[in-house]
Amino acid sequence: MDQPVQSDQPDQAGRIVSDAQQKTSEVVDASPVMFFEQDAALRYLWVRNSQMGLADSDWVGQLDTNFMCASDAVKLSELKRGVMDSGRSARSRVCIILICGTLRSLDLSLHASRNADGMVCGVSGCAVNIDEYRIESQRISELQLKLKLRALELDSTEAFRNRFISTVTHELRGPLHTLLGYTRLMLLDTEMGSEERQMLETIERSGLQIARQSSDLQSFMQADMQASSLRPKPVYMPTLIDHISESGQILCNAGNNTFVVQSDPFLVQFVLVDENRLLQVLDNLIGNASKFTKGGTITFQIDGVGIRQNNTRAVSPFQNDEFKDGETEDVENPDDENLPTLAHFDARSAGVCQVRFGVQDNGVGIEHRELTNIFEPFARAEQTQKMPGRGLGLTVARQWVRAMGSDIRVHSNPAQGSTFWFVLDLPALADL
């Protein structure tokens, strides 16, 4: 009778299990994790991969009190007994002081151990040494504290600087306006010689430039150019245009430029606006245009382009929803003659009128690649680096226009000139 063939499957399965156990043991030994099990009295039954500077066998039969200070051992014992009493797993981060005096930060994962009958008979778990993470976290906290202290120091320095600049610019205004006033009175003398008049005009231009730069600097340092900073009041538009015409003529004389005012004859008469801030914006735009134009023409345009009543909004060709913050328009301007004006509306009715303010020049122009930067503080176009100014005028002008609920747009071509404009929604008032 043939002998039965013995299968080698059990041997093969045993080898697989043995190999798996060996690989698992290698992984455990190579990991930074300490594995352990303790009995109901919290004596260690076994430990693998001790991270405390001790051999695994040193832990067997010992309690936590044999390795760490008593208070830390009590805390660990309470945590472990809580796991055994509840039969639930727990995870906690603890800091302990070893008997040798070394501080250890551990990330503990604890599980209730059960016997063959399913009864809780101890606790098992793993502990990860997170000293490096703790040290790194502490270092980050220290750096954050240093940054906060440095920020407070810088804020204090900046506040002092702002107060100093505001005080100096404020103190300059009094004597500067007195100087300009007397200069204008002297220019009224019709019998003055041409040479003396030319010198006085030079003094007036220089004084106006200092006044504008002082005003721009003070506005820039205030950092509160919000709608709440505006002081709107009823303004008679023809008077506003006269003020612009007068100041614009003086600004344009500096560059031997011709100043032209184009106003809508059907423009609403009375609006509610912060006249001082609006004039500051327009003076900046006109002064900027004159600075970069020599022997040319500066044109100021003011047009009514719509009115809003009963919560309806008129469409303005200069307010396109596709424009994003900081973008500029790079297309030709629409023909002003085709724009809708307030002639189509009752100017006496209450509503919000849309008024377009624009300044156009035929000066040096701006490269397209520089259009996105010209509104940044202290930014200067490449071809204007040697010209006077500090690069704050457009920044301040834009901030005030944004506080008024709009934004400045620009179209420019090198050697052809530039056009800056914005559209304001201004409450229209009945004729006063």
Q: Report domain extents, the chain.
A: 15-129, 148-223, 226-429
Confidence class for position 263, pLDDT limits 50, 70, 90:
very high
What's the whole-model pTM score? Answer: 0.50
Region 211-219: mean pLDDT is 70
* Three-class secondary structure of residue 277 per DSSP: helix
User: 43-84 pLDDT, tens per residue?
Assistant: 999 988 776 677 888 889 999 988 888 888 899 999 999 999
Name which of 149-163, 208-222, 293-307 the model is least confident about.
208-222
AA identity, residue 101:
G
Name which of 33-37, 121-125, 296-300 the model is least confident about.
33-37
Q: How far apart are CA 126 and CA 95, in angstroms?
A: 15
| Lookup result for tokens 């790079």 | 330
> What is the pLDDT of the chain when averaged over all its residues?
78
Distance (Å) of CA 99 to CA 103, 126, 328, 343, 370: 10, 21, 71, 93, 68
Question: 219 or 262, which is more confident?
Answer: 262
* Three-class secondary structure of residue 40 per DSSP: coil
Pairing relation of β-strands 258-263 and 297-308?
parallel
Does residue 184 have a pLDDT over 70? Answer: yes
Cβ partners under 8 Å of residue 146, min gap 6: none
Distance (Å) of CA 190 to CA 165, 181, 184, 251, 328: 40, 17, 12, 21, 46
Model pLDDT, residue 312: 44
Q: How far apart are CA 49 and CA 113, in angstroms?
A: 19
216: left (phi over 0), alpha (psi -120 to 50) or beta: alpha
Does residue 267 have a pLDDT over 60? Answer: yes
Model pLDDT, residue 189: 84
345: left (phi over 0), alpha (psi -120 to 50) or beta: beta
Q: How far apart are CA 48 and CA 36, in angstroms?
A: 6
How many Cβ atoms from other residues are within 10 Å of residue 408's Cβ?
22
Cα 221 to chain centroid distance, Å, stands at 17
Model pLDDT, residue 45: 93
Model pLDDT, residue 431: 64
Contact 413, 365 (CB under 8 A): yes
Confidence class for position 28, pLDDT limits 50, 70, 90:
low
Name which of 30-39, 113-122, 173-182, 336-345 the model is least confident about.
336-345
Class of domain 15-129 (CATH, top level): alpha beta
Q: How far apart are CA 53 and CA 135, in angstroms?
A: 19
Region 13-30: mean pLDDT is 65
Question: 113 or 203, which is more confident?
Answer: 113
Model pLDDT, residue 151: 79
Does residue 332 have a pLDDT over 60? Answer: no
* Highest mean pLDDT: which range of 135-149, 160-174, 309-323, 382-396: 135-149
Nearest in space to 358 (alpha carbons), one of 285, 277, 416: 285
Tokens representing 55 are 């051999």
Contact 112, 83 (CB under 8 A): yes
Nearest in space to 360 (alpha carbons), one of 252, 243, 230, 271: 252
Does residue 299 have a pLDDT over 90? Answer: yes
Does residue 400 have a pLDDT over 80? Answer: yes
Confidence class for position 350, pLDDT limits 50, 70, 90:
low
Tokens representing 270 are 């009375």
Name which of 31-45, 94-108, 269-283, 413-427 the model is least confident about.
94-108
Share of the chain above pLDDT 70, in %: 71
Q: Do domains 15-129 and 226-429 have the same CATH topology?
A: no
Nearest in space to 182 (alpha carbons), one of 207, 211, 216: 207
Does residue 318 have a pLDDT over 50? Answer: no
Identify the CATH number of the domain defined by range 226-429: 3.30.565.10
Q: How far apart are CA 389 and CA 393, in angstroms?
A: 8
Confidence class for position 338, pLDDT limits 50, 70, 90:
very low
Distance (Å) of CA 124 to CA 26, 34, 129, 201, 258: 20, 11, 17, 93, 92
Burial class (CB in 10 A: 0-12, 13-18, 19+), 181: exposed
Does residue 3 have a pLDDT over 70? Answer: no
